[in-house]
Structure 1
Amino acid sequence: MLPVDLNGPTVARLDFTENNPRVARADLRDTADFDALVNEMLAEQNAAIGVGGYLENRVIYRRSLHFGPGQTVNARSLHLGVDVWMPASTIVQAPLPAVVHSLFDNDNFGDYGPTVILQHELEDQTFYSLYGHLSRLEWRSLSAGQVLQQGEAFATIGPYPENGDWPPHLHFQLIADMQGRYGDFPGVACPEEREKWAELCPDPNIVLQCQKLV
């Protein structure tokens, strides 16, 4: 999926929950400051790549009204995918044979930015994979229905602000049922609905096979 070894020595797990005091105290509305914090967290672990996030109850979504901060109910903070924190322009490859299901530029502050959803068929089962925070450059050349071979490059990680205004990273998510949606799918849910969303969005490490996420 990425042209790197996610089990290599330069990979570290990053914690964006309230258990990380630095993240919990930080004002992350300034993306440049947020990016500097990510790089500091990586440097402290002698790492170049950060991974993590599946079903993590995160504090970082408080930076954007897109997730309902300040609400007493329905504020979303439960992450449904895995994030891979890497430099912008890193190539993204199809993990399995696929067809481009849909794409859309979800350009709200804190949203996915350019997004691609792939459809896969495996042992007579249909499922989907979502890629968020991409670059618009390669994204513009894709089209729904386009066939991709396993390992074929189809996108790159985008820079901020075009990637939804996040420090550069890939949001990777598996989806069992698109529920009629196109170009978008919730990547963060209410913690109270964990069981429902975990069934709909299984652990992406089934594909990634990253030991840091076990």
Structure 2
Amino acid sequence: MYSWRAYLGLINPGSGPNMEQDFHRFLPRGVALSTTRVPFTYPSPEGLRNMVAHLEDACEIFKRYKHDVVMFGCTSGSLIGGFDYDKQLIKIIEEITGDQGLTTSTAVLEALGELGGSRPAVITPYPDDTNEVERQFLEHHGFHVVNISGLGNDYVNQSITDIEPSHVYQQVKKLDKSGADCLFISCSGLNVLDIIELLETDLNMPVVTSNQASLWACLRHAGVGTRIPELGELFRR
């Protein structure tokens, strides 16, 4: 039995495998993961709302199996509906599955709070209208977003999962981070875990990413220790 410490459930966008691969790569011994997907096109507000419409069906798949935590693993998808949208989605997850629910945006709020960051610089692969919703969500929850910027990617024709970590690193270095006390790299589709330590060293500030925060929050809520030093300051506490 692989789940003798915790059994996690992950519902993630059907655009690529990066989030579940990141989880499997760093799951502690005795923690198991099951996954399912929801259809996804692109990260415009309309595309995100269409994706979330499938959340209940995904939860139905998980209701037959007991999980310690069920995570909806999409940052923008779990905040696109307003300031308390993540809480609404958590309620759906918990009512259908009977398990503890989480979303990536909830995990990010918890991670930023754990690190004491109050003035994040944010970089995303989203269009400007989605970025503005994310800015408002973070600021409603007490964070002052000093800057939020896209990666300059073609979000319609290029899969987010195909963006190279080196490109994200270079765009972060170019980002105006004046006044920031932390960096948030938003989107569970990005492959960026391997650049967290590099960026923390180069920028001299803590770095939060969607998948890092999601794994950390899942383990924390499941009562499993979270010391994985290669995943940055968040996992060294």
TM-score, with structure 1 as normaliser: 0.33
More contact order relative to length (CA 8 Å, sep ≥ 6): 1
Larger helix proportion, structure 1 or 2?
A: 2
